[in-house]
Amino acid sequence: MSKARVIAQCRYILNRYPVGGKITDEDDELFLLDLFSRHPEWEQKQGVGVAALEIGQSEFRTKCFVLLRYDGSKTDISFMKCVSKPTPEQEVKQACRTAIRPTIYAFRKAHVIYGTTRCALTGEVLTRENTHIDHHDLTFDEMFRLWIKTQDLDVLVNQLAPSADNEYGYRFQDQKIIDEFIDFHDRHCQLRGVTREANLRRGRS
């Protein structure tokens, strides 16, 4: 995704929520956490760990992103300081997440009954607002590292295309790459429904 597209996506998310509102959309959350991890002071910013993301108001009365930590503390974070061109491997990783998005949605639809299904980690009842789909046995990152070792990175990069309208990240143009990655993913990972808090506490999946 180009710098301009990243900035546009951040502004779009800022405008979706009111000041003081928590960011509840899973795709928005994953996009921002991936972006914020590039902040030059990320270790200091995340502190003991990020429990939630919120919309705040800067001293200039403009909207900004705020990290809510597990210890109850909070800090603002500038998305502009995070904007930089991702590495080729990061671009491929984004395309891989795009490739399995239908798998994630299908699992949620088939296996999560809101108000009935319970979080696999905490036992809490899952709702439309608090549900994340988690990779376990192998996390998504662990699985991706195994897969990328078997691939030619240059070939993958050459098969990347920009995201479609109203999407973020990259996607593969070659359906064969998509199918092979989905097969690898399905053979190495299992999915389960968890609460967003449990998922973030465990680490992004």
CA dihedral 39, 26, 50, 21 (to 10 degrees): 100
What is the structure's pLDDT at 44?
Answer: 86
| Helix pair angle (175-188, 140-148), 10° resolution | 130
Tokens of 112: 């999560």
Query: Any idea which fold 3-82 has?
Result: Nuclear Transport Factor 2; Chain: A, (3.10.450)
Distance, in Å, from the CA atom of 190 to the CA atom of 88, rounded to the nearest integer, reads 27
Q: Model's pTM, two decimal places? A: 0.67
Asked whether residue 84 carries a pLDDT value surpassing 70, the answer given is: yes
Side chain identity at residue 82, one-letter code: C
Residue 84 φ then ψ, to 5°: -155, 160
Tell me what pLDDT residue 165 has: 44
Mean pLDDT of 55-65: 83
Across the range 120-149, mean pLDDT stands at: 93
Q: Look at residue 21 and tell me whether its pLDDT is greater than 90.
A: yes
Per-residue model confidence as pLDDT tens digits over 147-158: 999 999 999 999
Confidence band, pLDDT 50/70/90 cuts, at residue 166:
very low
* 127-148 average pLDDT score: 92
Give the phi and the psi of residue 39 in degrees, each rounded to 5. Answer: -65, 135
Domain spans in the chain, listed from the N-terminal domain onward: 3-82, 88-202
The dihedral built from the CA positions of residue 175, 140, 35 and 131, taken in this order, carries a sign that is positive
Cα Rg of the chain (Å, integer): 17
The confidence score (pLDDT) of residue 200 equals: 74
